[in-house]
């Protein structure tokens, strides 16, 4: 069940600094079930600007789902997560933390900051693809996302 | 009575009285000095008594003769005359007198000797205690009314004084730093009143003005009939210094551990990411260009991907290995039966797939980090399953109590140990490799034969050694292996 008017693609924001991972994620989502637009920002500062539609991001739609890597330059993924979940308007957007780290302290910290879920990127390509597709299955088809009200704040 | 018999008896009695007299007299200091006897002369020495007696005897004979001629104007001795010419009643008087001398002599001799012996015992006892106090490593001193009544040499030396210097000019409070004097004064009076107390610390002055840390303990005592207190003092500067150093070292160690942990975390984290790039894109290549590449290319890709996967396993294992030290918990009583259950639960899949049977005897409670102990059992049992021979793997776990280690052996602390054994019916190990298998990443087989990075036993060894135990193996190729390790018992 996609949100919004039928046929509107899902907006996904990928916050990832590694172009290799960006490309992998794009490839993995390419043959997905649900039509989606993936937009990419390379660091935490850009991510927040995008979300607040500042500067060059003025006309951007609000994402329906955020895929967030933890280790980012400039502003760290954890700080971005804290800011998103601390913002009244932004906090309803589900954030999937997708990162290399398997460390318990990272997992705990992420959930503590109210990440919606935490996924470790697998080394194996097939597994990576499976994971991304599962994200798509779960968050975009099974889960009910909050209604996006057009272009308002 | 015939005259000659009487004379013999008389001489014998007189002789005996003289011996007694000599013994009595030898109790007196001036007599002993006359005969040049040592002050500690403590046994009646026959020789001396005889010589003393002879002297006395001579003296007596002279007196007797003089008295005889002077008093009775005769030529025989006084006693002879008394004996020969006595009216009946006087016999009794004189017998009584003689008996009285006998008894008196005996008694006084005993008394005097007893007195001498108790004097001597007292002196010995005093010397004994004085020697003890002088030889003590601790300072010992007696304080009465805030004045030193006794100071042992060590006490003087600890404060940098000669024994004579302390006591007269200095009082105990002079040797204490000013801010503690009130407390110390109160303690002196409390002890003197009979209140017991515990050892406590003071800062004391030396002659050169420097101060040192000391521990003192006082007890009530009576000195010359008046209440006082007796104290022992030990210099604990060295101890304090060692404690501070230890705290420093521990802090350093903790910091070093934290750094190591940080390093291991960052290293593994940052190493994984490029690894993923290599692995993922090579696989993407394979998928995207399937059919357009030849068989060689497929092989090349397979090797590349396999390499990346192994690298990742190695990184993870390295991280686990380093965390045995940096993330270890202090040992607590741990029930090994529960630990074994957990390990078997973790190995569920491997056990089912291989049809392995794992048995165990009753297992004790030991002092250990429980999660590390699970890891230890798990690795050993997993090896038993992995390195199997033809039939289904059989693994048996048991424990045996070891006798107490001798005093002075390395591991320190009392209590006994348990020796655990994990026995399998697998392929066995050549004795040549008994040491090598515990080295990190050392393997004895190719990856096709048996999977694994070769870190399982290295981790086991690190865990066992962290708990102060030993680990070793007994095995023969083709006859299975038994791994042994020791753990400290709960007591």
Name the CA dihedral angle for B142, B148, B152, B157, rounded to a multiple of 10 degrees: 130
pLDDT exceeds cutoff 90 at B262 = no
Query: pLDDT value at position B80?
Result: 63
Rounded-to-integer distance, Cα B418 and Cα B399, Å:
6
Rounded-to-integer distance, Cα B22 and Cα B32, Å:
11
pLDDT exceeds cutoff 90 at B464 = yes
Look at residues B347, B364, B365 and name the one whose alpha carbon lies nearest to residue B356.
B347
Quote the minimal CA–CA distance from B430 to chain A in Å.
36
Intra-chain end-to-end CA distance of chain B, in Å: 92
Sheet with A65-68: strands ordered across: A36-41, A10-15, A65-68, A95-99, A117-120
Contact A20 B309 (CB under 8 A): no
Chain B residues with at least one Cβ partner in A under 8 Å: 265, 269, 272-273, 275-277, 279-281, 283-284, 287, 308-309, 312
Of A27, A100, A124, Cβ closest to residue B279: A124
Q: Which of residues 77-106 of A touch B (CB under 8 A)?
A: 100-101, 103
- Cβ atoms A13, A61 nearer than 8 A: no
Using a CB–CB cutoff of 8 Å, tell me whether A2 touches chain B.
Answer: no
Side-chain half-sphere of B457: how many Cα atoms within 13 Å? 25
pLDDT exceeds cutoff 60 at B39 = no
* Residues forming beta bridges with residue B486, ordered by sequence position: B419
Look at residues B306, B431, B324, B433 and name the one whose alpha carbon lies nearest to residue B379.
B324
CA-nearest residue to A102 within chain B is B269
Q: Using a CB-CB distance cutoff of 8 angstroms, which residues of chain B are in contact with residue A125?
A: 279-281, 283-284, 287
SS3 (DSSP) at B214: strand
Please identify which residue in the block is written with the tokens 């010397």.
Answer: B127
Please identify which residue in the block is written with the tokens 């001036």.
Answer: B30
pLDDT exceeds cutoff 80 at B237 = yes
- Cβ atoms B318, B352 nearer than 8 A: no
Q: How many CB atoms are located within 10 Å of the residue B236 CB? A: 15
Q: What's the alpha-carbon Rg for chain B, to the nearest Å?
A: 47
Of A100, A125, A126, Cβ closest to residue B273: A100
SS3 (DSSP) at B366: strand
Contact B269 A128 (CB under 8 A): no
Of A18, A21, A125, Cβ closest to residue B279: A125
Contact B276 A100 (CB under 8 A): yes
Rounded-to-integer distance, Cα B213 and Cα B158, Å:
11
pLDDT exceeds cutoff 70 at B330 = yes
What is the ipTM, given to two decimal places?
0.73
* Residue A104 zone, left/alpha/beta (φ > 0; ψ -120 to 50; rest): alpha
Contact B273 A103 (CB under 8 A): no
Which position has the higher pLDDT, B338 or B71?
B338
Model confidence band, residue B394 (pLDDT cutoffs 50, 70, 90): very high
Using a CB–CB cutoff of 8 Å, tell me whether A58 touches chain B.
Answer: no
Model confidence band, residue A151 (pLDDT cutoffs 50, 70, 90): very low
Q: How many CB atoms are located within 10 Å of the residue A89 CB? A: 12
Range scoring the smallest mean pLDDT among A69-83, A104-118, B92-106:
B92-106
Model confidence band, residue B125 (pLDDT cutoffs 50, 70, 90): very high
CA-nearest residue to A27 within chain B is B284
CA-nearest residue to B270 within chain A is A100
What six digits make up the tokens of B459? Answer: 């981790």
Mutation target vs B (from A22, A121, A123, A127; most B CBs, 10 A cutoff): A123
SS3 (DSSP) at B164: coil
Of B269, B284, B309, Cβ closest to residue A123: B309
Contact A100 B277 (CB under 8 A): no
Quote the minimal CA–CA distance from B279 to chain A in Å.
7
Query: pLDDT value at position B8?
Result: 61
Mean pLDDT of B148-171: 84
pLDDT exceeds cutoff 70 at B78 = no
Mean pLDDT of B306-333: 84
Burial pattern B420-447, b for ≥16 Cβ within 10 A else e, equals bbbbbbbbbbeeeeeeebbeeeebeeee
Mutation target vs B (from A69, A98, A120, A125; most B CBs, 10 A cutoff): A125
Quote the minimal CA–CA distance from A124 to chain B in Å.
6
Look at residues B30, B44, B38 and name the one whose alpha carbon lies nearest to residue B113.
B44
For residue B19, the surrounding DSSP H or E stretch is: helix B3-25
Range scoring the smallest mean pLDDT among A103-112, B248-257, B363-372, B388-397:
A103-112
Q: Using a CB-CB distance cutoff of 8 angstroms, which residues of chain A are in contact with residue B308?
A: 123
Model confidence band, residue B395 (pLDDT cutoffs 50, 70, 90): very high
pLDDT exceeds cutoff 90 at B360 = yes
Highest mean pLDDT among A102-111, A134-143, B57-66, B329-338: B329-338
Model confidence band, residue B485 (pLDDT cutoffs 50, 70, 90): very high
Query: pLDDT value at position B293?
Result: 80
- Cβ atoms A55, A84 nearer than 8 A: no
Sheet with B139-144: strands ordered across: B147-151, B139-144, B226-235, B211-223, B200-205
In total, the C-beta contacts within 8 angstroms joining chain A to chain B are: 43
Q: Give the orientation angle of helix B456-466 with respect to helix B295-326, to 10 degrees.
A: 0
The overall average pLDDT reported for chain B is 82
Share of chain A above pLDDT 70, in %: 87
Of B265, B279, B280, Cβ closest to residue A103: B265
Q: How many CB atoms are located within 10 Å of the residue B169 CB? A: 10
Q: How many CB atoms are located within 10 Å of the residue A55 CB? A: 9
Using a CB–CB cutoff of 8 Å, tell me whether A24 touches chain B.
Answer: yes
Highest mean pLDDT among A65-74, A104-113, B400-409, B471-480: B471-480
Q: Using a CB-CB distance cutoff of 8 angstroms, which residues of chain A are in contact with residue B265?
A: 103
Mean pLDDT of B327-345: 91
Which position has the higher pLDDT, B99 or B317?
B317
* Residues forming beta bridges with residue B204, ordered by sequence position: B176, B212
Q: List Cβ<8 Å contacts ≥24 apart for B157-160.
A: B158/B204, B158/B206, B158/B212, B158/B214, B158/B233, B158/B235, B159/B204, B159/B205, B159/B206, B159/B207, B160/B206, B160/B207, B160/B208
Query: pLDDT value at position B92?
Result: 65
pLDDT exceeds cutoff 80 at B265 = no
What six digits make up the tokens of B354? Answer: 């291989």
Quote the minimal CA–CA distance from A100 to chain B in Å.
7
Read off the DSSP letter of residue B175: G
Query: pLDDT value at position B369?
Result: 92
Q: How many CB atoms are located within 10 Å of the residue B177 CB? A: 12
Q: Using a CB-CB distance cutoff of 8 angstroms, which residues of chain A are in contact with residue B277?
A: 18, 20-21
Look at residues A13, A17, A12, A23 and name the one whose alpha carbon lies nearest to residue A99.
A17
pLDDT tens, position by position, B396-455: 999 998 876 554 454 545 568 899 999 999 999 999 889 888 987 778 887 777 777 788
Rounded-to-integer distance, Cα B106 and Cα A112, Å:
103
Mutation target vs A (from B264, B265, B266, B273; most A CBs, 10 A cutoff): B273
Query: pLDDT value at position B74?
Result: 55
What six digits make up the tokens of B242? Answer: 């060692």
DSSP for B439-490 reads STT--SS-TTTS---S-HHHHHHHHHHHTT--EEEEE-TTS-EEEEEEEEB-
Q: Using a CB-CB distance cutoff of 8 angstroms, which residues of chain B are in contact with residue A122?
A: 276
């Amino acid at each position: 069940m996609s949100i919004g008017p039928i046929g509107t693609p899902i907006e996904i924001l990928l916050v990832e600094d590694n172009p290799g991972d960006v490309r992998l994620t794009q490839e993995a989502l390419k043959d997905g079930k649900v039509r989606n637009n993936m937009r990419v920002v390379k660091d935490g500062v850009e991510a927040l600007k995008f979300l607040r539609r500042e500067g060059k991001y003025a006309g951007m739609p609000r994402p329906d789902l955020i895929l967030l890597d933890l280790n980012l330059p400039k502003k760290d993924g954890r700080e971005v997560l804290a800011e998103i979940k601390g913002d009244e308007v932004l906090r309803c957007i589900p954030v999937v933390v997708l990162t290399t780290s398997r460390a318990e302290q990272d997992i705990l910290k992420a959930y503590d900051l109210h990440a919606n879920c935490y996924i470790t990127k697998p080394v194996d390509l097939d597994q990576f693809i499976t994971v991304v597709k599962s994200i798509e299955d779960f968050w975009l088809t099974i889960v009910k996302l909050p209604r996006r009200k057009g272009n308002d704040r | 009575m015939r005259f000659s018999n009487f004379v013999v008896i008389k001489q014998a009695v007189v002789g005996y009285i003289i011996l007694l007299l000599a013994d009595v007299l030898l109790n007196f200091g001036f007599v002993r000095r006359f005969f040049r006897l040592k002050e500690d002369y403590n046994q009646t020495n026959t020789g001396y008594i005889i010589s003393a007696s002879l002297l006395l005897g001579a003296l007596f004979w002279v007196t007797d003769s003089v008295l005889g001629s002077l008093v009775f104007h005769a030529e025989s001795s006084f006693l002879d005359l008394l004996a020969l010419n006595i009216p009946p009643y006087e016999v009794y008087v004189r017998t009584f007198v003689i008996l009285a001398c006998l008894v008196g002599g005996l008694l006084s001799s005993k008394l005097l000797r007893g007195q001498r012996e108790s004097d001597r015992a007292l002196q010995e006892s005093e010397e004994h205690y004085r020697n003890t106090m002088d030889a003590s490593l601790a300072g010992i001193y007696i304080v009465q009314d805030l004045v030193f009544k006794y100071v042992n040499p060590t006490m003087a030396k600890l404060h940098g004084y000669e024994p004579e210097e302390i006591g007269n000019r200095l009082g105990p409070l002079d040797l204490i730093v000013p801010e503690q004097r009130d407390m110390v004064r109160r303690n002196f009076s409390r002890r003197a009143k009979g209140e017991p107390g515990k050892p406590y610390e003071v800062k004391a002055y030396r002659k050169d003005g420097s101060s040192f840390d000391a521990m003192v303990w006082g007890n009530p005592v009576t000195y010359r009939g008046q209440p006082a207190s007796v104290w022992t003092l030990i210099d604990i500067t060295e101890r304090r210094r060692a404690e501070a150093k230890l705290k420093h070292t521990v802090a350093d160690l903790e910091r070093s551990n934290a750094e190591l942990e940080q390093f291991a975390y960052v290293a593994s984290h940052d190493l994984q990411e490029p690894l993923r790039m290599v692995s993922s894109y090579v696989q993407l290549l394979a998928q995207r260009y399937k059919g357009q590449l030849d068989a060689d290319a497929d092989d090349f890709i397979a090797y590349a991907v396999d390499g990346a996967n192994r690298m990742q396993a190695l990184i993870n294992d390295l991280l686990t290995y380093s965390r045995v030290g940096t993330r270890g918990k202090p040992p607590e009583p741990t029930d090994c039966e529960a630990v074994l259950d957990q390990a078997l639960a973790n190995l569920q899949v491997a056990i089912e797939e291989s049809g392995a049977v794992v048995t165990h005897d009753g297992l004790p409670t030991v002092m250990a980090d429980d999660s590390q102990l699970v890891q230890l059992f798990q690795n050993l049992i997993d090896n038993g399953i992995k390195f199997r021979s033809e039939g289904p793997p059989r693994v048996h776990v048991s424990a045996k109590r070891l006798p107490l280690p001798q005093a002075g052996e390395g591991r320190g602390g009392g209590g006994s140990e348990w020796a655990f054994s994990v026995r399998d019916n697998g392929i066995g190990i050549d004795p040549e490799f008994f040491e090598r298998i515990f080295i990190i990443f050392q393997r004895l087989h190719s990856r096709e034969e048996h999977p694994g990075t070769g870190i399982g036993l290295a981790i086991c060894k690190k865990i066992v050694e962290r708990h102060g135990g030993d680990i070793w193996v007994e095995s023969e190729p083709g006859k299975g292996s038994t791994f042994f390790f020791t753990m400290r018992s709960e007591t």
